[in-house]
Every structure is written in C-alpha cells, then in structure tokens.
Chain A
Amino acid sequence: MSQLVHPLEKFVRPGMESRIWCSGCSNGIVLNEFLRAVDELGLDTSKMVLVSGIGCAGRASGYVDMDGFHATHGRAIPVAVGIKVAKPELNVVVISGDGDLFSIGGNHFLHAARRNVGIKVICINNFNYGMTGGQAGPTTPMGAFLTTTPYGNIENPLNLVQLAAAVGATYVARWTAFHVGKIKNSIKKALMKKGFAFIEVVGICPEQYGRRQKMPRPMDMMMWFKKSSVISRELDPSKAEFTQERIVVGEFVDVERPEYTELIRGQINSIIEKLEKEGKATDVEI
C-alpha cells in the first residue's frame, strides 16, 4: 500500500516536532512557496543557509532541512552577511518579519542592500509583532488598533519596497499571501540573482492583527488583499503604493550591480597576485 507523502516533505527538518504558527497564518504559504521555488530550481540544499531573526516568521529557519541559524532580534542580516562573505558559494537566504528586519534590524537592511551583498531577504509583513501578542510595528497602517495602539496608530508605516529600492537592492518585489505562484516565481528570480534581492510578502495574521481590525477570519484578510491589490507591470518603485484601498504588487526593481563578495575576491586576488609577482610577503609597514 502506498503512503501519501507531501511533495515538500523532503525539505522538512527531521525531529522538528512543533510549529508555533497559528491556524490561518500565512507564514506556511510563504515557506511553501520558498520550498517550491528551491525544488523547481533543483538547488542543492546542502549549499543553502536559511537565517532568521526573532518573531513568528523567524522560526522558518528551524523548520527547513538546510543549514539554519536563528539569530538575535534584528540581527539575521549581519549574520547572513558574515556567512555569505566567508563562503560566497553558499546561497544565503533570510526569512524574517517586518519588526525584526525593519524596526530593530533596519540599519542592517539598509547597509546590506547598499553594499549589494548577494543575500536574499524575504520579509513576511504582517503589520504587527505577532509573537509577543499583537503590538504595533514599523509597517502598522495608520489608524490600526493593536495592543500598544489602543486609540489607533498615529505613526506613518514604512513602504518596504520603496525603502529597498532607495538603498540599492538589485531585485525588489511585493506580493500578498493571496498571490501564490507569483511569490514562488519572484523567489526563484531572487535565488538566481547575484546581488541583494528583497521580496515583501504581505501576510495574513488573523490572530493578532486581523481580529483587532474587524477581520477576524483568515479569509477576511485574504479577501482584503484580493480586493485591494493591483499588479504593476512597470519596474518602477514609485508606483508601489500601499494603502488600505490599494496595494500595488509586482516586481519593482530588477537590475545588476557589482556584487560585494565578487568585489572583495577581486581585490584579494589582485593584491596577492602583485605580492607574488614581486616576491614580497607584505606591502604593509608594521
């Protein structure tokens, strides 16, 4: 008798017993899309490292049967940079949340993109700090009610796509959890990209976000994304509007710039070549 096996079962880390994600959460959708992308590209998963920070999305690195590192809050990107720079042949992917990557870790995002370190960053943006019980964060929409905005949020949310484009990411895309298939295609593109790539997936968080905004069922947020999202066909981040009524999704940046680890290796090689040619141990005064 044949046993039914999920096609992505082979990617699940053995022994990882519990998943902390709530029913209706879309983190599973994003992880699914990531694994399908890896599967379809036929990548060697022993040469991949998944790094994440703290929060719900940050648990992703534990669930997948690849090398994984679970950093401190906000520090997934610099850990990933260290891994990538030390071993450039590895495909280093960061999956984490909006609070982790853009509040406490915002500075690292800025500089990894500016340097164009060839890591791939997938941000699951669920508008709040879910794991700690639904506090407002850097992407919380104006007026939203959360445990720390009992009278409505009065802070302007970050537009992650425009931020990523401004600081030099070579690939930038935004999708919502509704856009299954599109997410996967963007992740495939990002995984094959040499430089810094960023994908925002606007996620469903019925338990902590939705239910406080009169969208208590998972389908409520999904219907919101379906109704409000508009696919942009232009590579133009200025069109990446994000309001309650209109969420512009699609690809916004797809360019090539010299990648950081290649630049470093280039410098190292030419310096060593010069020393060898001149028969010297060093050019530096001690």
Chain B
Amino acid sequence: MRRDVLTGSYFTLGDIACAEGALAAGCRFFAGYPITPATEVAEHMARRMPEVGGVYIQMEDEIASIASVIGASYAGLKAMTATSGPGFSLMQENIGLAVMTEAPLVIVNVMRGGPSTGQPTRGGQQDVMQAKWGSHGDYEIIAFAPSSVQEMFDLTIEAFNCSERFRCPAFVLADENVGHLREKLVIPEPHEIKLVERKRPKCDPREYSPFKPDEDLIPPMAHFGEGFRFYATGLTHNERGLPRTVDPEVHAKLVRRLNEKIRRHAREIIRVEKLYLDDADVCVIAYGIVSRSAASAVRLAREKGIKAGLLKLVTVWPFPNEEVLRISEGVKRIIVCEMNEGQILREVERCNKCSRISFLPKLGGEIHTPREILSAIKGGS
C-alpha cells in the first residue's frame, strides 16, 4: 500500500494539496517555521511526513529552515520548506547559496500582502519580482503560480521535477487565495505521476568533479556519505568545487553556466495556457487566482462578441518572452491583471512589440472580479 500517494478524490485546502503533492513527488524532508498563510503546509507535513518515513522538523526561523533544507538535499533527500513574504525575505541569502551550490530544493511561498508584516491573512502577488531578484548576484530561477487546489498538487510535483532536473531551487508562488481555497483535488494513481530524479555520478569517486557539467550544463550530484569526499561552497569555485575567488574567468564561467542551464532549457520549463487567443484583439495576461477571474471575464466578453483571449502564466519564471512577443504582434491591446502594483507588467512591457498595454492592479487582498476585468476589456475596445 502506498502511503505517499493517496490516490482518490478529496475536497481539501490548497496548502494541504501542496503538501500531498510534495509527498507524492518523493519529498522526505520538510523544515519550516509557522507563518500565515502557509502554516497549513507545515501542519500537514508534521502529521503526514512520519507516515511515509520522512522527516518533519520545525526550525528556529526561516533562515535555519532553508539552510537545513540545503543540508538535507546534499544528504540525498528531496527537501522542501514553505513560507510567506516575511519568511521568504529571510530566506533570500540562502536561496543564493542553493543557486551557487546547485542544491535541488523546493520553496513554497504562499504570498500575502506586504511590505513588511502587511496583511498576514490576505492574498497578494507581491513577491513575484523578489522571487526572481531577491538574493544578490545574477541567477535564474524557476517559479510556478498555481491557480487551483489541483494545481497546488500538480505544480508542486512539477517544481520538484524541475529542481531535480536542473539542480536549482524551484518555487511554488501561490497566493493566499489559492493556499486557503477549498475545492476538489484528485490524486492520481502513482504510475500516472511522472517523477524526475537528480542526475547521479557514474564515475569513480576519486575522479568526481562535483561542478563539472555534462552537455546539458548540469553536473551530476553525489550525496554526502557516499565516499565522494567532495566540497561545496558558496564561494566562487572551479569544477572541482575548490574556491577560486579572484580568477575572473572562473567566476564568469560559473555564473554564466548557472544562468545558462536554465535559459537554454527555458522552452522545456515554461508553461502557459491559452484561451481564445487565436483570433483575439485583446489579450488578458494573468496568473494564480487572478487567472480564474480573467478566464471568466474573457468568456463573458466573447458572449458579448468581443474578441478577448487569455494568456495564463503557469510558470512566471523563466518568463515566457517569446509567447508574449508573439501575442503582442497579433493583438491590439494587452491587459495585465495582478494583485500588486505592477511586477509581471514590467516583463510584459519588456517583451511587448506592438500592443497597447493596460494595467489592472488590485491591492488589499481582494481578487479581481470578472466584471472588473470585463470592464477593462470593454474599456479600450
């Protein structure tokens, strides 16, 4: 009997679906710290993790949580933490460490309103740019934005798969509205769930260079305690993992590869969903919970004969540059809807070639209503 994949239909919370997705993905280490609105992920992990033989540990803060997740990942476990804005801010330095040491791990950020303590119980999408740029230095990351309880499950698995495949931190950027949403979840049969495992070295331990990439730019990963006697450091290092902090070539080569291993595979990672875009004059771009209001608005517009379509970002990072560029060439107007003061908006503006861009922000924890988006669609046509 499988205890990690509880095949069946449920009526449950987004945060719980996220935790079950992680267990189904093979996560066996969870470290976290209580924070609204992500606490239910930790609580569910505390109950469920021992049932699958994994470890739940409540750390002393979010810095310790992400640090211990890195340690557990290097010891060979799929590992995760879950938090919200303030905790995500605390994790930023060690997100850089995970990028630099190429530690596969997943960070769930159930976003609430900020800055600072802000609106602990209300939703927001204000950490999208922080997820991309929050730690110092140049790096690329992968982030999924679930819009339903089902996607909390499915995309948490996808986040694990990407982190394992590309040896990098992957984020589940959920908004509080999805985290605390209660709706139907279907957990499939174990054989229906596709899992990706990190590449492992096949060479003799004495010949192992821990940061020497294969053709795909990703180095195979040994685990501590397997006899490889390797070293990982946040310092600039050569392919053998040894610090080389003043050699410009070593630094440039390393940082370029860390970026390029994601960029080169961007098409493989990026996921968008399109609704009525083939003949659209107006394109709404949204992600997370807002994409559901946007889908309703687009359907309402079509009923009224307005040629509206939706581009839903399932991954927000890497950003779908090519998709947005192509859409901007075909539509007259793009409307960006997000629960912040304009974050994905900047990316859309960057990629836009021909369209007029309108922005429909929403702050305060409220979700855009379909009517509001519909009136924006009408407003410019």
Q: Which of B44, B60, B76 has a CB less than 8 Å from the CB of A284?
A: B44
Asked whether, in the complex, the Cβ of B64 is within 8 Å of the Cβ of A86, the reply is no
Residue of B nearest to A264 (CB): B55
> A52: nearest residue on chain B (CB-CB)?
B233
| A217 in the interface (beta carbon within 8 A) | no
- Cβ-defined contact, A72 with B69, below 8 A: no
Q: How long is the Cα–Cα vector from A80 to B72 in the complex, in angstroms?
A: 9
Residues of A within 8 A of B6 (CB): 281-282, 286
A82/B31 contact (C-beta < 8 A), A67-B229, A67-B230, A71-B67 known: yes
How many Å from the CB of A228 to the closest CB on chain B? Answer: 35
Q: Which residues of chain B are within 8 angstroms of A215 by Cβ–Cβ distance?
A: none
Chain B nearest CB, measured from A79 CB (Å): 4
> In chain A, residues 67-124, which have Cβ atoms closer than 8 Å to a Cβ of chain B?
67-72, 74-75, 77-87, 89-90, 107-108, 110-111
Instruction: Let me know if B232 is at the binding interface, CB within 8 A.
Output: yes
- Contacting chain B: which of A43-51, A170-178, A231-239? A43-51
Q: Is B201 an interface residue (CB 8 A)?
A: no
Q: For residue B243, which residues in chain A have a CB less than 8 angstroms away from its CB?
A: 62, 70
Instruction: Kindly supply a per-residue 1/0 record for chain A positions 159-187, scoring 1 wherever the CB is within 8 Å of any chain B CB and 0 otherwise.
Output: 00000000000000000000000000000
B residues in contact with A279, CB < 8 Å: 1
Min Cβ gap A71→B in Å is 6
Cα distance A77–B61 when bound, in Å? Answer: 13
B10 near A286 with CB under 8 A, answer yes
- Among B110-118, B163-171, B220-228, which stretch is in contact with chain A? B220-228
Q: Which of A165-218 contact B (CB under 8 A)?
A: none
**Counting chain A CB atoms within 10 Å of each CB, which of B16, B54, B59, B227 scores highest?**
B59
B234 interface contact, C-beta 8 A: yes
Q: Which of B185, B225, B228: most chain A Cβ within 10 A?
A: B225
CA distance A271 to B96 in the complex (A): 36
Chain B nearest CB, measured from A114 CB (Å): 9
B131 within 8 A of A: no
In the complex, how many angstroms separate the beta carbon of B224 from the nearest chain A beta carbon? 4
Closest chain-A Cβ to B206's Cβ sits at a distance in Å of: 8
Please, which residues of chain A bring their CB within 8 A of the CB of B77? 86
Tell me how many residues of A have a C-beta within 8 Å of chain B.
Answer: 51
**Residue from the list A47, A61, A86 in contact with B72, Cβ < 8 A:** A86
Closest A residue by C-beta to B240: A15
| B 35-56 contacts with A by CB, 8 A | 44, 47-48, 50-51, 53-55
In the bound complex, residues from chain A placing their C-beta under 8 Å from that of B96 are 72
Whole-angstrom distance between the Cβ of A260 and the nearest chain B Cβ: 9
User: Contact at B64–A107, with CB atoms within 8 Å?
Assistant: yes
A78 & B51 in contact (Cβ 8 Å cutoff)? no
**1/0 per residue B266-310: CB within 8 Å of A?**
000000000000000000000000000000000000000000000
Top 3 nearest A-B pairs by Cβ distance?
Answer: A82-B71, A82-B68, A70-B233
Name 9 interchain pairs, CB-CB below 8 A, sorted by A: A13-B231, A13-B242, A70-B232, A72-B67, A82-B73, A82-B75, A107-B61, A108-B60, A281-B2
